[in-house]
Amino acid sequence: MYCIPSEGECSHDDDCNTGGDDEEVDDCSCDDETVCELITEYKDIGVDWIPGCHDFSTGGSTANFSWDEFMGWWSDGNENGKHRPYGIMSIMADVQELRDLYGGPISLSSGYRCPQGNTDVRSEAPKTSRHMHGDAVDISTGCNQPYFTKLAELAKAELNFDALPWGKYEDCLLNLDK
């Protein structure tokens, strides 16, 4: 069985003690084949962190953002929905708080990415991208530098996000991670 982090408890104690930050999983003991496939991707690609069964969720939302938005609409970074609805997203509340602080809409381009999806989008950090940890988002800015700057400043000062600088990406995405 897998765990749903927002509910704060696991449906099977053994799964709560595998993977995550403290130990590496040798064999997948998850009851869900899709979760096992995802964990295998992390290992095969050599990601710097191997999640456990309990790290994956099948949903969640905030006042202004849906699970699909946090999953990048199941496009590029998620192998076009291959693992749907599973993902990892630990910063949903922080992204909502950023929107609240900003006082207006924010358009997410990408949140969680599976390892193969992260490789497919030619990530500069194919083994260490925080998107695969579920604690990074890319925000579409429409190449509006004052908007980019305001969001980056709020995210850093109020929510302890790290932000890549303006001009890092040709499409002017604001990358935030914890």
Spell out the domains of the chain, with CATH numbers in brackets: 5-177 (3.30.1380.10)
Taking CA 143 as the corner, what is the angle to CA 170 and CA 160, rounded to the nearest 5 degrees? Answer: 90
Q: Which residue has the tokens 């040709």?
A: 170
pLDDT tens for the 178 residues of the chain, in order: 333 333 333 333 334 334 444 444 456 788 899 999 999 999 999 999 999 999 999 999 999 999 999 998 888 788 888 899 999 999 999 999 999 999 999 999 999 999 999 999 888 899 999 999 999 999 999 999 999 999 999 999 999 999 999 999 999 999 999 9
- Tokens linked to 112: 């969680």
